[in-house]
Amino acid sequence: MKTRFATVTLLASAAALAGCKTTAPDVLPPDPGATTTQTDTTNTLPAGPQLGTNEHFVNSVNGQNIIYFDTDRYNIDSADIPALQSQAQYLMQYPNISVTVEGHADERGTRDYNLALGERRANATKNYLVSLGVPAGRIQTVSYGKEQPVALGSNEQAWAQNRRAVTVVIN
Amino acid sequence: MKLLRVFAILLLLPAPVAAQDLGDPVEPVTSVETAFEDEDEGLTGGEVIDELAMQNLSIAIASFATDRDVSTPANGNGTAALGNELARVVFNDLKNNGLFKPAGPDSLPKPTYAQITAPNWPSWSNRGTDMLVHGYVRARGDGRLTVGCYLYDVTLQDELARAGWVVPPRDWRRAAHKCADLVYATLTGESPFLDSRIAYIAETGPKDKRTKRLAIMDSDGANHRFITTGRSTALTPRYSPDYRRLLYLSYTDGNPRIYIYDIGTGRQTLVTQSTNPTFAPRWSPDGKWILYSMAVAGNTDIYRVSAEGGPSIRLTNTPGIDIGGSYSPDGSKIVFESDRSGSQQIYVMNSDGTDQKRLSFFGGRAATPEWSPRGDQIAFTHIAGNFRIAVMSPGGGGLRHLTDSWQDEAPTWAPNGRIIQFFRTTRNSGTTALWQVDLTGRNERKLPTPVDASDPAWGPILP
């Protein structure tokens, strides 16, 4: 009931904010783990990442396992929808896969607030995936606040990369 | 619908949860025994003293004498050498906190044991000394130490205050802090603050892979101890008013959760047996209540639970992030942070959650409010471009900025409400350090810590 209400709200706010585009980072952070795979393909089969690994998920969604947010915001806007649709499709295709959505904030916030904000972003992401048909029980959330930046500078570009929700397959 | 409702019956289980991130337990705090009564009650007025006049008062802290130089576990060179160290600690307490114009034992003549109660007045007045601190240390038959502390007015040739303490050798520095507190409290009329401890987060490693450990130290940085090993991230500690426990956030089970760590036993329990993430732990001034914030389906509210366990009561119920919370000294009100208006602002409510009102109307965002132990000010982080430490009155007026740097946050009050510590983050590098500033905005200084440091929490005066 509550989830459904949240979903409606999210869709409404997504529509309302369709014109207000998220400042997507100019440089995307590297896909976690995606670079280390191709090395030991010895011969015969084109052995890609195994189903059930995060690599398999990241490859399948073409690196769209991360969505980005505006300062202090947690709404899912139109720019994020293709990524979340792609994530949802994957999760519908593989019903045994569970994920954790990690919510993050940039360094320009106070510690406690950023923890709560990261949790809110992770939940907004989760709710959107649920609205697309993924069972809520397969999606965990965790907030890292400002504790785990991927971009290390102290500038708008770095902060935009760090305000993110990352969907990760848990083994 | 009732504003307050019992959220759930969530009992604190006595059994410790998996404590895989904890180091060896540290010594619990013991109270210091008074050796003789202070004959002069000192000044007790509530007036704020004239800081500039105070800084012109010259004060000599001479080496503490000993009746006979014997060996002591407190100092490898015996009680005479310990006497000099005691005076150094008193000197550094005053100097580092910008109090008076102190001169330390290394630049002063050493009084004899007999001179401790009968100062050589001409020699001190010839040096232009206004105030004089003498002291002694004596090894007792039971292995403990007696430390005496005397404050004299050189011009009046009169004793202003005296006190003595009996301490185990490992607590010798506490006697020196108590002496510095006696000098400070007698001369200013303020409450003491130096014999106290600080919990904080020790940080090492690169910006994207920081190791964050719970650590504790004396107010001057001595007796530093790590509580956690650093295997999982620890954040936002708070000392209980009796120093027996620490509240802090740990990712030890993979999720952010508040733990209650018992310093004596080295064991810890969850603040609430919930799978929801919990943040921002706080104690009530009497130590009977714990405030924590919990996110349920992304929505964060403030809860209160008895420090002995039992049901949690939800105090806020607006959509959005309600977080933190700091009690007024009498425990009747709580100042907290909420983004219900669209951005982080400071609100106040009764301690039962009723009558919630916004306090901050300054422009920018206002975060991490902390009520002064004196009750007269609220310190907070003002975010408007830079992150600055600021204070305001409990009614929301009288905004004053105390610092101006790229990112200063998380103020914590000295036990007497005269000094604020906070942490400062350096742009780009992300390095952090503890700093302090007094209420005038002067005497800003960096605290010495073994590694980078954040999230300071200053405890009350030690027992």
Is residue A171 very low, low, confident or very high in pLDDT (cuts 50, 70, 90)? confident
Is residue B420 very low, low, confident or very high in pLDDT (cuts 50, 70, 90)? very high
How many other CB atoms are found less than 10 A from the CB of residue B410? Answer: 27
Do B96 and B20 share a structural domain? Answer: no
Do B153 and B103 share a structural domain? Answer: yes
CA distances from B15 to B18, B234, B267, B268, B289 (A): 9, 21, 9, 8, 20
Between CA A60 and CA B374 the distance in angstroms is: 59
- What pLDDT is stored for residue B51 in this prediction? 63
Which of B133, B157, B188 is the last residue before a domain boundary?
A: B188
Between CA B412 and CA B423 the distance in angstroms is: 10
Reported ipTM: the value is 0.90
- Tokens representing B345 are 């602002």
Q: Average per-residue pLDDT in chain B?
A: 92
- Residues B41-92 pLDDT 10s: 333 333 445 666 778 899 999 999 999 999 999 999 999 999 999 999 999 9
Q: Which domains are seen in chain A, by residue range? A: 2-19+50-170 (3.30.1330.60)
Do B64 and B12 share a structural domain? Answer: no
Do B126 and B178 share a structural domain? Answer: yes
Do B387 and B355 share a structural domain? Answer: yes
| Residue whose C-alpha is closest to residue B229's, from B202, B249, B207 | B202
- What pLDDT is stored for residue B234 in this prediction? 98
- What pLDDT is stored for residue B24 in this prediction? 83
Do B56 and B17 share a structural domain? Answer: no
Q: How far from the centroid of its chain's Cα atoms is residue A122's Cα?
A: 8
**Does residue A20 have a pLDDT over 70?**
no
Is A112–B297 a contact, with Cβ atoms under 8 angstroms apart?
Answer: no
- Tokens representing A81 are 């929808």
- For an interface test with A, give the residue of B208, B247, B278 to mutate (most A CBs within 10 A): B208
Is residue B25 very low, low, confident or very high in pLDDT (cuts 50, 70, 90)? confident
Do B83 and B212 share a structural domain? Answer: no
**Does residue B453 have a pLDDT over 80?**
yes
Between CA B92 and CA B192 the distance in angstroms is: 15
Do B202 and B180 share a structural domain? Answer: no
- What pLDDT is stored for residue A7 in this prediction? 43
Residue with tokens 């290390």: A152
Do B445 and B427 share a structural domain? Answer: yes
CATH of the domain at B254: 2.120.10.30
Is residue B27 very low, low, confident or very high in pLDDT (cuts 50, 70, 90)? confident
- Residues B118-152 pLDDT 10s: 999 999 999 999 999 999 999 999 999 999 999 99
- Asked if A160 and A68 touch (Cβ cutoff 8 Å), the reply is yes
- Tokens representing B249 are 């956030």
- For an interface test with B, give the residue of A110, A142, A156 to mutate (most B CBs within 10 A): A110
Which of B149, B173, B188 is the last residue before a domain boundary?
A: B188
Q: How far from the centroid of its chain's Cα atoms is residue B305's Cα?
A: 23
- Asked if A156 and A148 touch (Cβ cutoff 8 Å), the reply is no
Do B37 and B20 share a structural domain? Answer: no
DSSP per position, B410-451: EEEE-TTSSEEEEEEE-TTT--EEEEEEETTS---EEPP-SS
CATH of the domain at B115: 3.40.50.10070
| Residue whose C-alpha is closest to residue B201's, from B187, B215, B188, B221 | B215
Range of the domain at B131: 33-188
- Residues A158-169 pLDDT 10s: 999 999 999 999
- Among B210, B249, B368, the residue with its CB nearest the CB of A110 is B368
- Tokens representing B362 are 């300054």
Mean pLDDT of A37-54: 68
**Does residue B97 have a pLDDT over 70?**
yes
Residues of chain A with Cβ-Cβ distance to B208 below 8 Å are: 148-150, 152
- For the CA atoms of chain B, what is the radius of gyration? 23
At B240 the three-state DSSP class reads coil
Q: How far is A56 from chain B (nearest CA, A)?
A: 23
> Poorest-confidence range of A43-57, A137-151, B424-438?
A43-57
Do B146 and B232 share a structural domain? Answer: no
Residues of chain B with Cβ-Cβ distance to A74 below 8 Å are: 298
At B182 the three-state DSSP class reads helix
Which of B147, B165, B188 is the last residue before a domain boundary?
A: B188
Query: What is the per-residue burial (b if ≥16 Cβ within 10 Å, else e) of B413-452?
Result: bbbbbbbbbbbbbeeeebbbbbbbbbbebebbeebebebb
Domain tally for chain B? 2
Mean pLDDT of B230-243: 97
Backbone angles phi, psi at A117, to 5 degrees: -65, -40
Strand ordering across the sheet containing A98-104: A66-68, A164-170, A98-104, A139-145
Do B438 and B318 share a structural domain? Answer: yes
Q: How far is A44 from chain B (nearest CA, A)?
A: 38
